[in-house]
Chains A and B, each alone.
Chain A
C-alpha cells in the first residue's frame, strides 16, 4: 500500500512539473504574431488550393534514391509551390499497379503521376476509364495517347553526349568506362549518348579513347539497381583495365562505382541528380553529373493540370528546355574543355549537331 501511495505521489508531482514543459503551437503562433521576423527564414508555402495531385511508384518504392524518389520530389515541390494536396501509394508488386491507381482515383485525385514503363498498361487502362483525371507517366510515351495522358520522356543522350566528350577529354589513360543497371532503353540511352560523345572527341582531336562497357548494342550491366557491390565490382574491373573515368547508370547500385573510383583515385560522372548534392561524400571524384530533371517535369505536369492547360502532348526533356542538363563541372576540368562543352551544347540545341 505504502509503495502504491509513493508511486502515485511521484506521478502527480511529475505531471505537475512536466506541465510546464512544451508549448502548443497555438501558443507559439500568438507569440510569433508579435515578432513576425522570427519566421521569415522559411518561405511561406503557397496558399492551399482544392486540387489533389497523386503518385504511384513502381515496385522500387519512393525511397529508391533513383527515379521514383526524384519524381516524388516533383510532387512535393508542387505541394509547396502550388499549394496542392497530395496522395501517394507505393507499389509492392507489379500485379497491383491497376488496383493502386484505382485506390487513388477513389480518393478524388485530380492528377495522377505514375512512375516507370512497367505502369504503362495500368495507366492507359485507368485513363480510359477515368476521363476526368489527368494522368502523366514518367519515362514512358504512348504511340497514341488519350487526351488525359501525358508521357514524360527525357533525351538524356544529349547531356550524356556532353559527358562522354568531357570524359574522353579528361582521360589521361585513354580509356573510359560506363555501366548500366539493366539493358533497357531508359538506361542504354545514357550509355549510347556517352559513347557518341567519346567518338566525337576521337574524331575532333584525332585521339583514340577507348570506351569500356558499351559498344552500341551490348555492354556491362549490374542487372540490379540496388546492389552497390555489383556496381563496385564492375567499376573496379574497368579501372583495372585502365579506365580513369567511370559513368555508372544504375541508380543506387552505381554508388558502388563511385566508391571504386574514390578508392582508385580516378574520376567519375554521376547520373540522374547532381551527385554533389545527392551523394556529396563522392563530390571530389565527380567531374560532373548527367541530370535528368524528372522532378521539374512532374511539377510542370501537375501545374498544367491545375491550370487547365493539360495536353496529351509528350513532354521531352532536352538541353534546350532544361529537362536534361549537365551539373556544374568540377574545378579540375580545364577551362578549354569547359568552353568546348558549352560550344557543343549550343550546337546540340541549335540542331547543328545531332545525337542519335
Chain B
C-alpha cells in the first residue's frame, strides 16, 4: 500500500551557508519504496501516538467528571466508587465520540463533509512542505476563496451545473492567486513565506470584514456582517449522502500524488524542497518552482473554501474560516506531508471534530477535550523519540519527520 510514501532518501546535503552545520539533523526522511515493511514503524508510531493521546484524554475526562471527583475524595474508603465513576465517564465520553463520528451512515457522512476542507487545505500545506515552503497562509487563501466563490454564488444568475462550476473555479482561482502572490514575493524579493503568509492572513481577514460591511456582500435589508447563502443552483449536488466536495477532496489527493510522484513539475518541487541550491546548480528555475508551489497550495486552500460555501451552503461571516487553515498545518504534519497521510489525518481530525460535538451533547464533556486529543496526537507524532521511549521501540534510522526548510534555506 501507500504508493505515495516513497521517496528516495535525499542525497547528502551540502550546507551552502556553512555557518551552522547540523550533521545529525534529520531531513525529510521517508520510507524506502522497495522495502515493504519500511513504512511499518511510521504506522506503529502514529498508532501509539493516538493511543497515548487517548489515555491522557481519559485522565482528563475523569478529572472533569463531577461524580468521579466526588468519589476521589474518599478513594481510600470506597475505591470501587471512584473506579466505577471514572469508568462510566470514560466510557460515555469515548463511546459518544465513536458513535457520533462513525456510528451510523448519517454520522459518517457528516464526518466526511467536515474532513473534506481539512483534507484540501492540508494538501495545500503538504504540497508547500514538499517544496520546502512553510505555508501558514491557508486561512487567508481560504478567505479569498470565500469571497470569490460566495460572490459568484449569490449574485450571479446562471443555470444550475454551470453556476456551480463557475463558482468553484472562482474560489480555486482566487485562492491560487492569493497563494501565488506569496510565492512570487519570495521568488522575486526573498520575502520569507512564513512572515508573508501570516501577514496575508491578517490582510485577508480585514478585507473580508470590509467586504461584509458593504451592501454588496450583505443580506438585503440587514446590516449584519453576514452574506446571503449562495443560490441553490451554485451548491454542490450530493453523491451518496455526501456533497460533491468530498469526492473532489479525494480527487485532489490523487492529483497531488500524481503531481508529486509522477510529473516533472513534482520532481522539481521535491528537488527544490530538498536543496534549492543544488537544484539551481542543476539548472532548475527555483523562482518558478516557489511561485508555482504556492500557487498550487493556494488553489487547494481555495478548493477547501468552496466546501463550506458551496458544499455546506454557509453564509460568509467574519469567522467562517475558523481554525481550518491552522488545523490544516497539523493535518499535514500528522500526514507526514504525503497525500495519503494527509487524507487519513484529515479524516481523523474530521471524526474528532464531529465526535467532539457528540461528546458535549450526550456526555457533557467539554469541547476542549477533542482539541486536546488533536494536540496530543500531533505532539507525539512530532516527537517520535518520545513515543519510541514510551514503547521501548527500537530506534531505527527511519524516524519520519517533516521539516520545512524555510529559515535560511
Given pairs A99-B114, A184-B225, A186-B224, 15 additional interface contacts (CB within 8 A): A19-B76, A19-B77, A22-B73, A58-B319, A89-B360, A92-B353, A92-B367, A93-B321, A95-B312, A104-B361, A117-B226, A118-B226, A182-B318, A184-B223, A223-B206
Instruction: Verify if B81 is at the interface (C-beta below 8 Å from A).
Output: yes
- Distance between Cα atoms of A59 and B23 in the complex (Å): 46
Q: Per a CB cutoff under 8 Å, which of B70, B71, B322, B360 touches A93?
A: B322
- Give the interface size class of chain A: 35 or more
Q: Per a CB cutoff under 8 Å, which of A92, A94, A103, A184 touches B314?
A: A94
Set of chain B residues within 8 Å of A88, measured between Cβ atoms: 360-361, 364
Encoded as 1 (CB less than 8 Å from any B CB) or 0, chain A from 59 to 95 comes to 1010000000000000000000000000111101111
> Could you pull out 18 A-B pairs where Cβ atoms are within 8 angstroms?
A23-B73, A23-B74, A24-B78, A25-B70, A59-B322, A89-B357, A90-B360, A90-B367, A94-B308, A94-B320, A94-B322, A95-B314, A99-B110, A107-B362, A120-B226, A182-B209, A185-B223, A223-B209
B-binding residues in A (CB < 8 A): 15, 18-25, 54, 58-59, 61, 87-90, 92-96, 98-100, 103-104, 106-107, 117-118, 120-121, 182-186, 188, 223
Nearest chain B CB to A14's CB is how many angstroms away? 8
Set of chain B residues within 8 Å of A120, measured between Cβ atoms: 226
Whether the Cβ atoms of A24 and B319 lie closer than 8 Å is: no
How many Cβ-Cβ contacts under 8 Å join chain A to chain B? 108
* Most A C-beta atoms less than 10 A away, residue of B77, B308, B315: B77
- Distance between Cα atoms of A106 and B103 in the complex (Å): 13
Set of chain B residues within 8 Å of A188, measured between Cβ atoms: 223
Question: With A24-B78, A94-B319, A95-B312 in contact, do A183 and B213 touch (Cβ < 8 Å)?
Answer: yes
- Distance between Cα atoms of A90 and B359 in the complex (Å): 11
- Distance between Cα atoms of A332 and B392 in the complex (Å): 70
A-binding residues in B (CB < 8 A): 70-71, 73-78, 81, 100, 110, 114, 206, 209, 213, 222-226, 229, 308, 312, 314-315, 317-324, 353-354, 357-358, 360-362, 364, 366-367
- Distance between Cα atoms of A94 and B315 in the complex (Å): 9
Set of chain A residues within 8 Å of B362, measured between Cβ atoms: 87, 107
- Distance between Cα atoms of A236 and B324 in the complex (Å): 35
- A19's nearest neighbour on chain B, judged by CB, is B76
* Most B C-beta atoms less than 10 A away, residue of A89, A93, A185: A93
- Distance between Cα atoms of A103 and B362 in the complex (Å): 8
- Distance between Cα atoms of A290 and B121 in the complex (Å): 43
Set of chain A residues within 8 Å of B206, measured between Cβ atoms: 223
Nearest chain B CB to A280's CB is how many angstroms away? 26
Set of chain B residues within 8 Å of A183, measured between Cβ atoms: 213, 223, 225
- B229's nearest neighbour on chain A, judged by CB, is A121
Whether the Cβ atoms of B315 and A121 lie closer than 8 Å is: yes
Nearest chain A CB to B308's CB is how many angstroms away? 5
Nearest chain B CB to A122's CB is how many angstroms away? 9
Nearest chain A CB to B402's CB is how many angstroms away? 25
Q: Per a CB cutoff under 8 Å, which of A22, A61, A93 touches B76?
A: A22
- Distance between Cα atoms of A162 and B91 in the complex (Å): 54
Question: With A15-B76, A93-B319, A121-B229 in contact, do A103 and B361 touch (Cβ < 8 Å)?
Answer: yes
Question: With A95-B308, A99-B357 in contact, do A89 and B322 touch (Cβ < 8 Å)?
Answer: no
- Distance between Cα atoms of A106 and B357 in the complex (Å): 12
Whether the Cβ atoms of B358 and A118 lie closer than 8 Å is: no
The 10 closest A-B pairs by CB, nearest first: A93-B322, A22-B74, A18-B76, A103-B361, A19-B76, A22-B73, A90-B367, A94-B320, A89-B360, A95-B308
Whether the Cβ atoms of A89 and B367 lie closer than 8 Å is: yes
Set of chain A residues within 8 Å of B110, measured between Cβ atoms: 99
- Distance between Cα atoms of A300 and B225 in the complex (Å): 28
- Distance between Cα atoms of A93 and B237 in the complex (Å): 23
Whether the Cβ atoms of B357 and A103 lie closer than 8 Å is: yes
Set of chain B residues within 8 Å of A18, measured between Cβ atoms: 75-76
- Distance between Cα atoms of A58 and B364 in the complex (Å): 17
- Distance between Cα atoms of A98 and B114 in the complex (Å): 12
Whether the Cβ atoms of B225 and A182 lie closer than 8 Å is: yes
Whether the Cβ atoms of A24 and B74 lie closer than 8 Å is: yes
